[in-house]
Amino acid sequence: MRILFSSTPAHGHLLPLLPLARAFRDRGDQVAVLTAAAFAPLLDAEGIELLPAGPTADVLFAESGRRTGVDAAADPRPEAVADFFAGTRVDLTADDAVAAAQAFAPDLIVAEALDFVGPLVAAALDVPFATMAFGPAIPAEFTDGMTALVASRYADRGLTPVPARWQIDPCPDLLQPPGWQAPANRLPVRPEPHQGPGTSASADAGVGTSAASDADAAPSGERPRVLVTFGTHFSDPATLTPILAELRTVGVDLVVTLGLTASAADYDVASDGITFAAFTPLAELLHDVDLVVTHGGAGTTLGVLARGLPLVVVPQGADQFLQAAVVSATGTGIAVQPGPDVPETVAKAVVTLRTDPSYTESARTVAAQIATMPTQADVAAHLSAALS
């Protein structure tokens, strides 16, 4: 079979697709990813073909901001989000994407939840498609606007939108928002923290278990280790430096990810007790930490909770406020909202997570539910059988 994955050109959207792409690849299927050309190095390392189409996210944000006057990343109001995903990106990507996909001739297209190019390509080629979520269900106030906006892009091409045959969902029921009901075509799949090329879920003993149990077994007197990761797009040294400085006062060692462009020298903070890490698969970073301070990206949030680790979520933009609300509501961590006292509040939250075991217990409950979900290989086999 020939499986085409389609993604917004951003790590937070693309990386959650990779486990399923690997599962199809490992079955012997021909797999390709439709996204911006800048992701060639990442996909080359996976042995997965890239079908380049459309500009990178920075170009899309600039054009969408020009159209709407709003930065959709920093100010995720529904109309700005709709224009970015269902307007600007489709306008600057769809035609090249259709041409590239025609040459690949897929049997199935899998599009991440906010990718509106893949479904349009599926309609153009008359190919079945599935959507794949990357976190809790997105509120209707966002999805309704995007669906309405993209309709004109179908009409311009003489196409009719068709519904997804499957909705692949890595979010466990415990993390879904209040009132959520599973759609009839939902296909659950076990989420995984991002892993390096050539690493399988079965080889990563931490997936579906609690890494916190390793920390509990550490020698008496060892300082707690806290991972601080604000992803690839939001790890601004100006934001993180005051937080790091405050965390150094609460008796923890820090592992700090640098994102894609920063260096350790960009952080004006004493380096003792701090380890800076360049872009590293999340699965590797989670092996020996006790808790995580994060911006609340969906992939990061699910990956951390799959390990049974509690979080402090400091949302910066995009969908991170949704994850922050879910973490707070489920008692799997503490959400710290924007404000002048964020560094002090984050430090207090870290102390609370270390001294109140209920947060770790709740995170482990979520991890246990995640461990019961079908594996990526199970889902690939199910989809392959359904299309045979």
- pLDDT of 200 reads 52
Same domain as 294, residue 305 = yes
Give CA angle at 34 (32, 35), nearest 5°: 135
Nearest to 122 by CA among 9, 34, 27: 34
For residue 206, is it within any domain? no
Q: Supply the CATH number for residue 71's domain.
A: 3.40.50.2000
pLDDT per residue rounded down to tens, the chain (388 residues): 999 999 999 998 999 999 999 999 999 999 999 999 999 999 999 999 999 999 999 999 999 999 999 988 778 889 999 999 999 999 999 999 999 999 999 999 999 999 999 999 999 999 999 999 989 998 898 999 999 999 999 999 999 999 999 999 999 999 998 888 999 999 999 999 988 886 554 444 343 333 333 333 333 347 899 999 887 677 788 888 899 999 999 989 999 988 777 778 878 787 788 888 888 888 899 988 999 999 888 889 999 999 999 999 999 877 888 899 999 999 999 999 988 899 999 999 999 999 999 999 999 999 999 999 999 999 999 999 999 8
pLDDT at res. 72: 85
Q: Is residue 196 situated within a structural domain?
A: no
- 359 and 379 inside one domain: no
Measured CA to CA, the distance from residue 249 to residue 25 in angstroms comes to 47
| Residue 138 counted as domain residue | yes
Predicted confidence at residue 195, as pLDDT, reads 86
The answer on 241 and 141 residing in a single domain is no
- Asked if residue 364 and residue 235 are part of one domain, the reply reads yes
Same domain, 73 and 154: yes
What pLDDT is recorded for position 240? 87
* Same-domain status, 38 and 120: yes
pLDDT for res 386: 95
Q: Do the bridges between strand 2-6 and strand 30-35 make them parallel or antiparallel, or are there none, so unpaired?
A: parallel
Confirm if 188 and 167 have CB atoms less than 8 A apart: no
Say yes or no: 140 and 260 in one domain. no
Print the domain residue range for 179: 2-190+373-387
Residue 198 in domain: no
Asked whether residue 377 falls in the same domain as residue 325, the answer is: no
DSSP code at position 219: P
Whole-model pTM: value is 0.88
Determine, yes or no, domain membership for 195.
no
| 364 and 379 fall within a common domain | no
Instruction: Confirm whether 76 is domain-assigned.
Output: yes
How many domains is the chain built from?
A: 2
Same domain, 140 and 224: no
Write the burial class of residue 380 (CB in 10 Å: 0-12 exposed, 13-18 middle, 19+ buried): buried
- What residue has token string 């604000």? 230
- Return the pLDDT at 212: 37
Please tell me whether residues 181 and 234 are part of one structural domain.
no
Q: Which of 158, 156, 160, 187 is nearest to 171 (CA)?
A: 187
pLDDT of residue 100: 97
Contacting residues for 175 by C-beta, under 8 A, at least 6 apart: 136, 302, 305, 326, 330, 366
Cα–Cα separations (whole angstroms), residue 229 to 254, 286, 289: 10, 11, 12
251: region left, alpha or beta (phi > 0 left; psi from -120 to 50 alpha): left
For residue 200, being part of any structural domain is answered with: no
pLDDT at 199: 59
Q: Are residues 185 and 258 in the same domain?
A: no
What integer pLDDT is reported at residue 388 of this predicted model?
85
Q: Does residue 227 lie within any of the structural domains?
A: yes
Q: How many CA atoms lie within 13 A of 77 on its CB side?
A: 9
DSSP letter string over 18-42? HHHHHHHHHTT-EEEEEE-GGGHHH
Tokens of 193: 């923290």
